[in-house]
Each structure stands twice: as C-alpha cells, then as structure tokens.
Amino acid sequence: MKTVKVLAAIVGVSVVASPVMAASLNSKDRARVARAAPRDRDDVRYCLLKGKEGRDKGTVIGAAGGAGVGALAGGSLGESLLAGAAGAVAGRVIGKSEGTNSECDRVLARNP
C-alpha cells in the first residue's frame, strides 16, 4: 500500500510540475527589465527568468521529497502533507540561490 502512495505522489507532482515550470515575469520584474541599462536588458530578463525557474523547480522537488519521505516513514496522510509542505519551503529557499550563477548576480546587482 505504501508503494501505491509513493507512486501516486510522484504522478501528482509530475502533473503539477509542468505548469509551474512555465516561467514568465510579473509586473515588478518587467519594470526592473525596463529600468535596466539598454545593454543589460536581455541579461537582466534572462537572469530573472532563471532565478524564478530555480525557485519553482526547488519548490516542486522539495515538496515531492518531503511527501515521499513522509510516506516512506509510515506517516499518515496529514503527516505526509506536512512533510511535503516543509520540503517545499526548504526547496524554494535552496532553489532561490541555486537558480543563478555569479554572472547573473553581478548583472542583477548592477541593475536594481
């Protein structure tokens, strides 16, 4: 029965992950791109998209990992959901810093 729960969680995460991974900029980020120096606009847009993709990917991976560990540890549905939520928060924080490289960090620092 536990294997069925894990497989169901994996299928659910894969269905949810595909729309989450489609990244677009919000109005605040679009304004930041517009304020950037003309030579840096493409780089700022690219770096903002990469950062967002990293955060989203980290959230999905963390949620799946947390829920999987909760299910494998024999937790109830509520405990597995709680573990998934904690994993999502941790994954988002980790993915936020891992989504960009040092060049993007410099470009974004130059164009606040």
Helices and strands, counts by H and E, the chain:
5, 0
User: Which class for 89: exposed (0-12), middle (13-18), buried (19 or more C-beta within 10 A)?
Assistant: middle
pTM: 0.63
Q: Which amino acid is at 44?
A: V
Secondary element (H or E) of residue 80 = helix 77-98
pLDDT digit of tens for each residue in the chain (112 aa)?
Answer: 566 565 555 656 555 554 455 568 888 989 999 999 899 889 999 988 888 888 888 888 888 888 888 888 877 888 888 888 888 888 888 887 777 778 888 888 888 8
Contact assessment for residue 70 and residue 84, using Cβ atoms and an 8 Å cutoff: yes
